[in-house]
Amino acid sequence: MPNGDVHVALQFWWQLVCLITCSIATIISLFSISSHFLNYRKPNEQRLTVRILLLVPLFSVTCFVATTRPDISQVYLDPIREIYEAFVIYTFFSYLCLILGGERQIITETSVRHEPIRHAVAFMGKIDLSNPSDFLRVKKGILQYVWFKPFYCIAVLICEVWKLHNLQFGLVLLYNASVTWSLYSLALFWRCLYEELKPFHPWYKFMCVKLIIFASYWQSIIIQCLSIAGVFGDRESHQDEVQMTSYFYQNAILCIEMIGFAILHSFAFPPGPYSNKNIHFGSRMKLYYALRDCFGGGDLKWDFKQTLLVGESYYNFKNFEPTSAEGLLLRNDLDSRMNRIQQGYRFSNSGHDNYWINYGSTSNDTPSRNVSNIEDEEWDNSIGNERYISSDSNYPVIWDTEGYRYSSNIRKIRNDIESRSFSSTT
């Protein structure tokens, strides 16, 4: 990290170009994000989409500030940007899981149809996403980069303040090991479920997400090499001054590139599929509730807790039981069946049925509830008679009355009227 006290600055025309380009990129991204919030009909998908789209304006603002106030950017903004980079990798993984039906669908149905695959390293064995433990291992491999990045940024700042330059090399090694592990785990997930992901065209979305991260990383490496070669100053110049100059140009180039990234993200994650033209009779959430859903963080808290703290107590065969026992018998993988059998899974009726033994079962000594003692309660039909009250300010969704115009029934009526008017004129 260069020293922010060195008096080096970009030329005025460079700063003007950075201001214009990052402003355009931010406007494009904010327009796409606001369109999602105004058509917030699928919260599970759109909260992830918006979090990915926020990467562009965050990069644009931080890169521009870095070209004007590096002292502020290096200490406060660069760590936030780097942590959010890691967070977007996790968000993209969550997005892939969601479009495939969720983690339960992947573990209990989708992955059961596939044979386990081998790791790139032979001695690491096989990976089977139908095994909840293997799925958890892949997920932790992706998420560890998110958890590692804040500690890495704090350690880098400490090394800079206390001039512990010898420790920085070790931090770089740990950083590269962490990001490699994360990308390798994501590649494993991709390889296991590539056929199911193919209809959703994930390459386009993946490249949009990763290009920003790769561009910022590799451009910094290239510019550092150029600075060492003396492109940004002769070898007799002050080292901090040369580093600051390379830092300026790295962020200035990213400012210009953000326009392209903003356009790519807008096409990769468009709001059109969530509009009333495509979801005719679906209600949408009010803006306040949409913002609260996206930035509330309730889903992140639950997911981090289940993955980091609960772990295999939740990701086990009992909680993720396959929907069909026949699929397990049709697989050629014996290890997968034996792992389940060791935890109490049993096949019956020639594989058509299954049951569990000694695995979370209830003791025979436990008194059973007497069903005959349960008093019958009168059925309440009042809920079915209630209707939406438009004046209720606490109602979290809005019934979009314009959606009916694009429904199939209205389209048939419109085509029928047009055909009759055409036949009458002829």
Domain boundary assignment for the chain: 12-291
Per-residue pLDDT averaged across 101-111, rounded?
91
* Minimum mean pLDDT range among 109-123, 188-202, 213-227: 213-227
Asked if 208 and 92 touch (Cβ cutoff 8 Å), the reply is: no
Q: Is residue 237 over pLDDT 60?
A: no
Predicted model pTM? 0.81
Please report which confidence band the pLDDT of residue 371 belongs to, taking 50, 70 and 90 as the band edges: very low
For 17, residues 6+ apart whose C-beta sits below 8 A from its C-beta are 252, 255, 256
The two tokens of residue 162 are 């206390």
For residues 347 and 353, give the distance between their C-alpha atoms in angstroms, rounded to a whole number.
Answer: 6
Residues 6+ apart with CB under 8 A from 103: 97, 135
The β-bridge relationship of strands 353-356 and 345-348 is antiparallel
Q: What is the pLDDT of residues 289-299, one digit of tens each?
A: 999 999 999 99
Long-range contacts of 209-214 (CB under 8 A, 24+ apart): 209/52, 209/55, 209/88, 209/89, 209/92, 211/261, 211/264, 212/55, 212/56, 212/59, 212/85, 212/261, 213/85, 213/88, 213/89
- Banded model confidence at residue 88, pLDDT cuts 50, 70, 90: very high
- Per-residue confidence (pLDDT) for residue 40, from 0 to 100: 94
Highest mean pLDDT among 30-39, 218-227, 232-241, 373-382: 30-39
Assess whether pLDDT exceeds 70 at residue 376.
no
pLDDT on residue 176: 85
Asked if 256 and 373 count as a contact pair (C-beta separation under 8 A), the reply is no
Identify the pLDDT of residue 62: 95
Find the distance separating the first CA and the last CA of the chain, reported in whole Å: 78
- Percent of the chain beyond pLDDT 90? 38
Write the DSSP symbol of residue 296: S
pLDDT digits (tens, 9 = 90+) for 16-34: 999 999 999 999 999 999 9
Rounded mean pLDDT, 130-134? 91
pLDDT score, position 152: 92
Q: Are 159 and 167 in contact (CB under 8 A)?
A: yes
pLDDT at 275 over 50: yes
The answer on pLDDT for 53 being more than 70 is: yes
User: What percent of the chain has a predicted confidence (pLDDT) above 70?
Assistant: 82
> What is the domain class of 12-291 according to CATH?
mainly alpha
Q: Which of 235-244, 248-257, 365-374, 394-403 has the lowest mean pLDDT?
A: 365-374
CB-based burial label for 299 (10 Å; 0-12, 13-18, 19+):
middle
Is residue 138 predicted with pLDDT exceeding 60? yes
